[in-house]
Structure 1
Amino acid sequence: MPDAAFNPLIHAPHRLRICAMLSQADGVEFGEILERIGLTKSALSKQIGQLADAGYVTEEAIVRDRRSRQLLSLTPSGREAYAAHKAALQQLIEAPDRAPSTMDA
């Protein structure tokens, strides 16, 4: 299991969903992500751009069915950052509640 590390860049809801999708495959087409997440093309491009700028996502132009498509993949550092973020979230979920209850007073 990777060391837990909360990552604010990945934590944003749309970027978290993008990383979750990309973590399950070697590559996912932009159009498939667009369809599943329901953002506009420009909004999705902005989210992917932020992940790419951090070195977490790579973009590759491919041709399929005689059409140019964009294939997105997590980089090794992106996979590591996503796994560490998931571990941090899991620790948060599984941690006992540290706040005193009103019954403890």
Structure 2
Amino acid sequence: MTTARFDELIHPSTRLTLVATLAAADWAEFAFLKDRLGLSDSALSKQLATLEEAGYVLTERRLDGGRRKVRAQLTSTGRDAFNGHIAALQEIVAGVASPVVGE
């Protein structure tokens, strides 16, 4: 069972979209992530580095036909943090959607 816990690191919209995208895939290529999020190379690199430093993302750099390619994967720690964050957001939304007693 997932414990609901708000995660400040994941919460900014760019990182939330990045982590959600990685949660839906085994590995994702840098170019795909860049296009999906509409970020520059440097902006995406910065977001990935922040998440990797926290242990949420693993990146792999490899040569493919003489070109250096980067791909990223959500770690189990990152997946747990993402699931907990989503559960916390769902609790917030459910609390707002519920009628308040006495009003």
Same fold by TM-score greater than 0.5: yes
Q: Looking at CA atoms only, which structure, 1 or 2, has the larger radius of gyration?
A: 1
Query: Equivalent residue for 2:39?
Result: 39
Letter in 1 for 2:26: D
Structure 2 Cα separation of the partners of residues 39 and 80 of structure 1: 25
Query: Equivalent residue for 2:77?
Result: 77
Letter in 2 for 1:71: R
Q: What is the aligned-residue RMSD (CA, Å)? A: 2.0
Could you tell which deviates more after superposition, 71-80 or 58-67?
A: 58-67
Could you tell which deviates more after superposition, 55-64 or 15-24?
A: 55-64
Letter in 1 for 2:25: A
Query: Equivalent residue for 1:7?
Result: 7
Structure 1 Cα separation of the partners of residues 25 and 49 of structure 2: 19
Percent of pairs identical after alignment? 40
Cα distance change, pair 65–90 in 1 and its aligned pair in 2 (3 A): farther
Letter in 1 for 2:33: I
Alignment of 1:1-105 (within 5 A): 1-64=1-64, 66-96=66-96, 104=103
Instruction: Return 5+ residue gaps in structure 1 as ranges.
Output: none
Report the secondary structure of 1:68's partner residue.
strand
Instruction: Return 5+ residue gaps in structure 2 as ranges.
Output: none
Cα distance change, pair 97–90 in 1 and its aligned pair in 2 (3 A): closer
User: Aligned residues, how many?
Assistant: 102
Letter in 1 for 2:53: D
Letter in 1 for 2:31: G
Cα distance change, pair 69–95 in 1 and its aligned pair in 2 (3 A): same
Once the 2 structures are TM-superposed, how far is the Cα of residue 96 of structure 1 from its aligned partner?
3.8
Report the secondary structure of 1:71's partner residue.
strand
Report the secondary structure of 1:10's partner residue.
coil
